[in-house]
Amino acid sequence: MDGLFEVLSKTQGKPLLNSHLFGLFFGLYHKLTGLKILNKPYRIIKNKLVDPHYQTIDRKKPRDTIDELILLNESYPPEQQFEHNILAPILDFFNAGLNSTSILMEWFLLIMANHPEVQEKIYSEISKLDKNFISIKNRYETPFLNSVLYEVIRYRIGTSTAPRVAKEDIEVDGYFIPKGAAVAIITSSIFMDEDYWEDPQQFKPDRFIGEPKGHMERILLYGIGKRQCVGKNLSNDINYLFCSNMILNFKIRSSTNQIIDDSPNFRLNSIPKSHSLVLEKRL
């Protein structure tokens, strides 16, 4: 497993591996183009996860997602049964999960370094819980931290939603979209729209306290509707645990004691520019 995380961490920023949008099609890309970059993570997944499942699977009582993927692949006609049908979704689970959480964590730490007063307000809130470790159960007791996390997403985590295909010709606000065209939403266009947000270019940590009407519907990081990201709740849980316990245990500041440039580099996701931080253990 360590090898898999190492490989995936080194591929961040490469367009193919950096996007969960194409995860389920990794096998097809690999087969048609011979992309060698996928060989090592595929081999690790196969050796460490899939092969042991094949050896111990009870086809009448599947234990987990990997067993289900094996059974699903075996349900296809023989000419459609490929190892990639199992490996590609697993790689996608790892990469999409690492991507969505790691980017928010990076932005959270940077923004906290630039806003020490916000850090201390979060610390004041969570320290009142009198706990050595903040758990998911504490989320409803930390409204300010919850608001900060949503504002970090709105302020800097721009991405592209999964593309959809237009079923017919349509015109939207003067733009003609032909049938069959791929359509996606760039979330930053919504997150920075003055029609929806007061002073959108400013980081306002208490913007989401009380969940003002309409605000939550515009946080489209995970998509919307029945096809939104299946890992949304897990990602939110991980982000909450990481950010709350970082503030509980450390003070975060810039290594230069200067304000860090927080303008984003936009690829498939907006990511911070290179910077360095100092974590000071709270006493």
Q: Label each residue of 135-175 as H, E or C.
A: CHHHHHHCHHHHHHHHHHHHHHCCEECCCEECCCCEEECCE
The residues, any chain, with a CB within 8 Å of residue 191's CB and separated by 6 or more, are: 153, 154, 155, 158, 197, 200, 218
By the 8 A CB rule, do 198 and 183 touch? no
Predicted confidence at residue 122, as pLDDT, reads 98
Report the distance separating Cα 276 and Cα 255, nearest Å: 6
The pLDDT of residue 214 is 65
**What pLDDT, on the 0 to 100 scale, is given for residue 38?**
63
pLDDT value of position 164: 83
Tokens of 65: 């997602």
Question: How far is the first Cα of the chain from the last one, in angstroms, to the nearest whole number?
Answer: 34
Beta-carbon contacts of 279 under 8 Å, excluding residues fewer than 6 positions away, are 246, 250, 251, 252
Residue found under tokens 């003609």? 176
Please give the chain's pLDDT, 283 residues, in tens: 344 434 433 433 333 333 333 333 344 444 444 445 567 778 888 899 899 999 999 999 999 889 999 999 999 998 888 888 888 888 777 766 677 788 899 999 999 999 999 999 999 999 999 999 999 999 999 999 999 999 999 999 877 777 789 999 999 989 999 999 988 888 888 899 999 899 999 999 999 998 766 677 788 777 777 777 777 787 888 899 999 999 999 999 999 999 999 999 876 678 899 999 999 999 8
Domain ranges for the chain: 2-91, 99-281
- The reply to whether 243 sits in an annotated binding site is no
Q: How far is 231 from 204, CA to CA, in rounded Å?
A: 27
Which architecture, in CATH terms, is 99-281? Answer: Orthogonal Bundle (1.10)
pLDDT at residue 224 in the model: 75
